[in-house]
Every structure is written in structure tokens, then in C-alpha cells.
Structure 1
């Protein structure tokens, strides 16, 4: 993997760059649509590629391990071939999903024993087998196995967890040396900074992760319920320390405003289920605020879904029609809303990139944050 910074914003830490892998070039800042189970929910690969057009999507180790299972993925020749996606893929390590199974998992130094949400069967994730699973899935960027702490989290637990995440990282690195890539292209490994919402711990973790010398680095354990200002404060602490010449990935973030504010703090990569999940519940993100399309006010509004026309659905369908589809629980409504939201998120990061390159990112960002922070 090669990362190159093309331009830095003069007034913030925002930067525009490119990440090049064996599956192509990723222009940063980038938002990665989440394809949890080898599918971005409700979106055909053709629409994903031609209309939403991300350079990279995300897959989920925990879910893919359970279904379709690694034996199937290996027979298929890896996730790219299985889902017919010839661009970049990043897989998370399953740490967050294990965190979300708090009632059905036990964390020890060796790893995590957890109960499947599908059939109740027991499984164990260790740093070693998670590296093997990600080798078999075959994503271009793979993540360290970590523990994602909850919010709020007391200092002692956060510190203990952070140190365990660091020890797990060393085990990941050692095991990766023993397990070669499977499909003839390179995989790049990102370690993850933890430390909850404690500046002291975030600083320690960022210094430790920076010392590993990986080709890219991630910030985990945020967007788990903490106020946005705490998220920004932790991100700022970490981006001050992580190497400037490596891409920085903020995991699981976030709202359009969160993304712009974190770009300003020097983050390059984002993923979140929000645009797809909220779409399925009738929430549309736009440059001028959010729309709850289920509201009665849209019942006879025959204007386009979004006059900006970022994707074909924005001008092909009216707000009244989309509201009708949600009212009658028609699947097409969820698909239209999903394509719209993902198209908007990708438009937003591309606009951010344009303004970084133009040198006026901060003023544009401040204007956009005000515009988007309202309900229509």
C-alpha cells in the first residue's frame, strides 16, 4: 500500500491524499459504505459501483466468519470474488461486534469467547485466529484484534483494556508473519488506538501504535455514546501523535457533521452504518439538513427527493412518492433512501477533498456544518 498526501489545508489539519493498493486508488478523505455480510444492504453492486461509486467498502469479520463461513469464502477465492466487487475492501477485526455482545461474551487475555447471535453456538476469537480469518476473507486492509471499551468506562478498566489491546496487537503482528496472503495481492494491516475518553490513555496508546510503524493506523472506541465534543477531543489528541505520512482511520464515525469535523482534525477514512440504517428508517441526509420522509408534511410534496441530484434516485422520484413507499412498507422505499444517503455521504467527502485542494476547506466546512444541522 502507498499513501501520498496531495494537499494540506492551511487552517486545519485536513489533508487530501491517495491510498494505492492492488485493487486500485482510494482518494481521501473517504467514506466507506458498510457491507457487513458481503452486501451493502439493499444496494446492487452495479448501483454501488456506478451511482454511489466508492473506492472502498467495508466487510465485517465477525459476521462473515459466522456466515457464509471462511470455508465458503476460500472456495470462492476470497470476498472480492464472492461478492463480485473488484475495488478495495477493508475488514474490521470483530472487536466492536464482540463488544456489542456484552451479555454473551467473556474476555480473557487469551481472547474472547462469545455466543453466536444466530444459533447460540460458542466460538473463540484470538488475535491469531482473527488474523487467519482476515487472510481468508482477503480484504485489502485488515485490522488488529482489539477490545472496544464501552462508554462510560472507568479509568482502571480502560487502562487495563488498552494494555491488553496492545499485547493482542503484538500477537497479531507475530502471527501475520506466519500466515501468508492467499489470493496473490497484498494485504495491509492497521493497528487500533484505544483508551476510551481519557486523554492520558489516548496519548499512551497513540504513542504505542505510532511506534509499531504500520502502513496505516486506526482510532477505535469512539462513537460509542460519548458526546461529540469528547470524540473530537480524543481524535485531536491522537492525530497529533499518529504519523502524518500514514492514513488515519476513525472507526464507526459518523454523522455528516462528525465526518467534517474529524476531517478537520486530520482523519482520512471513515465508515458507519448510519447512512444505510437511518435510510431504512426513513431519514435522509442532505446538504441542507435531515428529512424524516415519513412525516405527513411530505405527503403531497412532488418536488425531487434532492434537487442536487447526486444519484439518479434524487431526481427520478419525488418526496411524496418516497413517503408513500414507506407508508405501505414497500422495500423499494428503503432501497431508494439507502442509495440517496450513501450517494450524499460520498459526495460530502469528495466535496471536502475539493475544498482541501482549493485551500478553502475551513470556511466551506463551517458553512456546511450550519446548513446540515437542522431538520427539514
Structure 2
């Protein structure tokens, strides 16, 4: 069905979901999701445009990569655009200039991320806006009203995400409040008609922390309401991957089979494939775009740091020889590295295009494997290659890009090979993989001077294997100390509240702790850290501010241990 066809879907069909193939192994399945702005297959990935824009990318870039559904933060975009502008534009699609589908996050994550300055009760959440410091409030009814004005295809309800770790009592309180808000959201949704004559789907959010019995209670409660789909919340905030998988599988097994399931905020490809195996249909994350700006490309052999010199013999190769996107077709690793140093935004755009194309290709291949009933073999093969440690030095076998071109704001938007600008096939088409010639000699790296910053990086002693590191947080009565090490204990980045000029009691403030976390995290990212286990010694309760800053920097937290 083409996009044009999907725009004329009857109200009863818009927002509908059907499972067209279930795998023999686990809960993996292929589905078809219909919205007033398109029909596409699941499992699929949603790029995140929190404020109604994609950093360094145009929406045409995103569509050309295969994106057909975006995740937008309702609260952020409503504050930015305002009701008058949204109504004048006919909703968010017209305001953004995006013709495909949109899911909106309720803004409930503000309950979690702004908890130091927020107040939560049964009425809703009251907090200080990070933009202007003014007090704002989100209630279940206001969140529905905002999303009616926005006109998104999929609406999510206001929920409360408890921090991790926390007591079971705190998990239960957040879950019960989420259920109360869900009931009020359904009533508000039924009482407020759509603004633009097209049906919007309403999805509930499952909570319950890491307690099996609470997750079951949450699923059973929400399943009694007329939701069109379900989000699974509170599982991408630092718990070990094994716990996250256990909770995801439990929830998916218990949710209605005929409703779509979305795993909120889960981002690395291996974790997405785990979610697919457990029965998840859609995923969103900031990583593909955010990490491109920080010098990271995701490839079939794991993440690479394109902002650094390529391993010997690979400078003229594409960053991913197996990828058919125009970035890999037209630019070498060395060209992207040099561009990152001179025109960072242009390099970030090109690599974000590659990262999104890689994510969509991975999900396309996953759907194909499910149809063939070979998903588990596909997942195991993908993860083995990803974890092989070859990401920083891809196997030889990739040739030189066909040609380099001048980069600038007016460059022709790249497209995946074999894709038309507006694909009529479900899921955004099936991007073709490039066939490459024998690699050419590394002309760029031979005899070229390594600049001072790269030389320092290469001489650094710590060894980062598979992007793994350790984060040590020590909160004292008069300071916050944040240190990143490799797995052998060698320091790769550190900071303290005192380094930013915080004095006296202010050294223990949320702002000071966040600063220390943010500065140390950037050093760790520059050293190649992607994920960390955490060791915490905290007598003042400031470690959550550090962890929030580290997560916002794009580092995955795999486990948290309190030490004496």
C-alpha cells in the first residue's frame, strides 16, 4: 500500500495493527502498522526528533534513509511551536514539513529527568522548565490536549518512571500513579475529538520497575483499557541488560498479541535485536544521530571512531564496506575524519545518514529473517560480528568510495541505493548492500602527519575493549568526584565539582554533580567508551545527577553497584 493510499484509510483502519508472521523461536514477529500518514512493517526503528527537528539532518535526509516514523517529545515541541502555530499549520506534520508518521512521547520523561526540580502527586507533575526556569505542570488531561493539538499519529499517556535503583515501594507507587493517570487519559481522549479530522491512536505505558509481580499487575491493569498499543517504560535507565531482557520478555508475553509494543529509549542494535526476539515491535533512541556528532559510526562490525585515523590499510575504505548508503559509497574513512576536524556539522550529517541507514537495514534484515523463520540465527550472527572487536578495525574487503564530493549545506540529499525518494514499499524499502572491489592502498595515511591531538590519543595507555569502561562516583560531604577507567583500572577521564568553580555547599548541588559527570563523560567518549559498569559511593544522594549527565552524553550504563 502506498503512502497516498494510507492517507485515505477509514478511521477504523487508521492506527490499526496486525501480525503477519510470527517466528518459530521466541516472540519475534513481523507486523503491519497503519496510520493516517503511512503504512509500514514492524519491527522498525524511530529516530528521535525531540524538539521537532533532527540535529544536523533534514527530514528529507531521514526519509531517504528509510525513516517512516519519528518520535517527538510532545512537551518540548508544544513549548517551542505554541498552540497557535500548530493549529495554523494543521498540526505537527505541517509545522515540521514531515509527510510520514509521528509518535509523541507524552513528556512524562520530564518526571524522571527533572526530578530534582519537580513535584509529583496524583494530579500530575509540576516542574521548573530548563529553558526559562518558569514553573510548568503536566496533568494527564493536559498531555492529551497537547497531543490533540499536535495531531500526532500515535499518542502516549502520561506516566511516572521510577529511578533505578529504588525500593519496591517506590516502584509500586509510580506504577499505581501511572495507572491512575492512564484511566484519566482514556477519559480525556474520549472527550476531546481529533483536531484535524484524522484518527489518532492512544498507547498506554507499562511500568513496575524491575519487580516481576508489579510488571504483571501493570500489564493486566492497562490491558483492560481500550488502548491501541503499549509502550514499555522504565527499562533503559541503567539496569543490567539481563534484567532489562527479563522484564521485556515478561511484559511482551503477557500483553495482548494483537496490539503493537514499543520499547522506550532502547538504542544499540544488539539490544534492539534482543527486544525483537522478546516480542517488541518498535524502538526509539537518540544514539544514531547524537553519536555521529561525537565521532562515532555504527557498522556491521560494531562502533568505530571515524574522527580518528583509520587502521593501516583502511583509510581509503568506507567506514562500513557492507553498507550501501551514499556516505559509504562516496566517502572514505580518511575523508570523513578530515571533514570532522574542519567541518564537524557536515561530517556529523553524513555519518548520521549512514547510522540511520544502518539501523533501518538491520531491522529490514531482521524482518526478512523472521519471515524465513531464521531470526535467532540472524541475531546470533549479527551479535557475534558486532562483539568481535573488529569495529575499530574492519576486516579488509571494502574498496574505495567511487568518488568524493564537495560537502555543504546545499549538497544533494543522499539516498539509499535502489530507493526512490518516496518509497511505496512497507518499511521504507529494502536498501541494497553495496558490492565493493579490492581495497586500494592507504595513500592518505602513508607519510601524512598525525596531528597533535590524534598522537596523544594513540599514546594513551588505557585499553578500551568493545567500548567498555568503568565509572566510579564518589560523593563526599564537600565534593563530587567522577572518574572513568578502563576495565584494568587505568584512568581515562575524571572531573570534580570543584573544577567548575563550585564552592562550599554548592559543590554538592545537582548542577555541580551534573557538571562533573558531563565533563568526565566527554573525556571517556573521546577515549572510546560506549558503555560502563558503575561503582558508587554516595552519602549525599548526588549520584543520580551524575548518572543522568552520563546517560545524556550517550554512554550506556550496564550495571550499578554500591561500594562501601
Aligned to 2:355: 341
Q: Is the 8 A contact 1:210 1:242 kept in 2?
A: yes
Q: Is the 8 A contact 1:111 1:124 kept in 2?
A: yes
* 1:161 aligned residue (151, 165, 174): 174
Are 1:251 and 2:264 an aligned pair? yes
Structure 2 residue runs without a partner (length 5+): 1-14, 393-564
Moved more, 207-216 or 253-262: 207-216
Q: Is the 8 A contact 1:298 1:320 kept in 2?
A: no
Aligned partners of 1:213, 1:119: CA distance in 2, in Å?
37
Q: Is the 8 A contact 2:323 2:358 kept in 1?
A: no
Aligned partners of 1:297, 1:309: CA distance in 2, in Å?
17
Instruction: Give the drift of 1:207.
Output: 1.2
Q: Is the 8 A contact 1:55 1:88 kept in 2?
A: yes
4+ residue runs of structure 1 moved beyond 6 angstroms? none
SS at match of 1:217: strand
Pairwise mapping of residues 281-300 of structure 1 onto structure 2 (< 5 A)?
A: 281-297=294-310
Q: Is the 8 A contact 1:305 1:315 kept in 2?
A: no
Aligned to 2:148: 135
Q: Is the 8 A contact 1:33 1:273 kept in 2?
A: yes
Are 1:303 and 2:326 an aligned pair? no
Q: Is the 8 A contact 1:91 1:143 kept in 2?
A: yes
Q: Is the 8 A contact 1:61 1:94 kept in 2?
A: yes
Aligned partners of 1:262, 1:180: CA distance in 2, in Å?
34
Are 1:55 and 2:68 an aligned pair? yes
Q: Matched residue pairs, number?
A: 375
SS at match of 2:67: coil
Instruction: Give the drift of 1:178.
Output: 1.4
* 1:372 aligned residue (386, 396, 418): 386
* 2:160 aligned residue (147, 152, 171): 147
* 1:237 aligned residue (204, 226, 250): 250
* 1:361 aligned residue (372, 375, 389): 375
Aligned partners of 1:160, 1:71: CA distance in 2, in Å?
37
Q: Please report the RMSD computed on the Cα atoms of aligned residues, expressed in angstroms.
A: 1.3
Q: Deviations over 1:166-185 (max 9, x none)?
A: 00000101111111101111
Q: Which has the higher contact order (CA 8 A, sep 6+)?
A: 1
* 2:117 aligned residue (80, 104, 109): 104
Aligned to 2:92: 79
Q: Is the 8 A contact 1:306 1:315 kept in 2?
A: no
Aligned partners of 1:329, 1:108: CA distance in 2, in Å?
47
Structure 1 residue runs without a partner (length 5+): none
Instruction: Give the drift of 1:298.
Output: 5.3
More helix by share: 1
What is the TM-score of this pair, normalised by structure 2? 0.65
Moved more, 236-245 or 296-305: 296-305
Q: Is the 8 A contact 2:309 2:315 kept in 1?
A: no
SS at match of 1:212: coil
SS at match of 2:110: helix
How has the CA–CA distance of structure 1 residues 309 and 367 changed in structure 2, closer, same or farther, with 3 Å as cutoff? Answer: closer
Aligned partners of 1:350, 1:40: CA distance in 2, in Å?
22
Instruction: Give the drift of 1:329.
Output: 5.0
What is the TM-score of this pair, normalised by structure 1? 0.97
Aligned partners of 1:69, 1:251: CA distance in 2, in Å?
26
Aligned to 2:20: 6
SS at match of 2:337: helix
SS at match of 1:16: strand
Q: Is the 8 A contact 1:127 1:169 kept in 2?
A: yes
Instruction: Give the drift of 1:98.
Output: 2.9
Q: Is the 8 A contact 2:306 2:319 kept in 1?
A: no
Aligned partners of 2:68, 2:49: CA distance in 1, in Å?
13
Moved more, 187-196 or 285-294: 285-294
Compare CA radii of gyration and give the structure with the larger one.
2
Aligned to 2:497: none
Aligned to 2:338: 324
Pairwise mapping of residues 205-244 of structure 1 onto structure 2 (< 5 A)?
A: 205-244=218-257
Aligned partners of 1:329, 1:157: CA distance in 2, in Å?
47
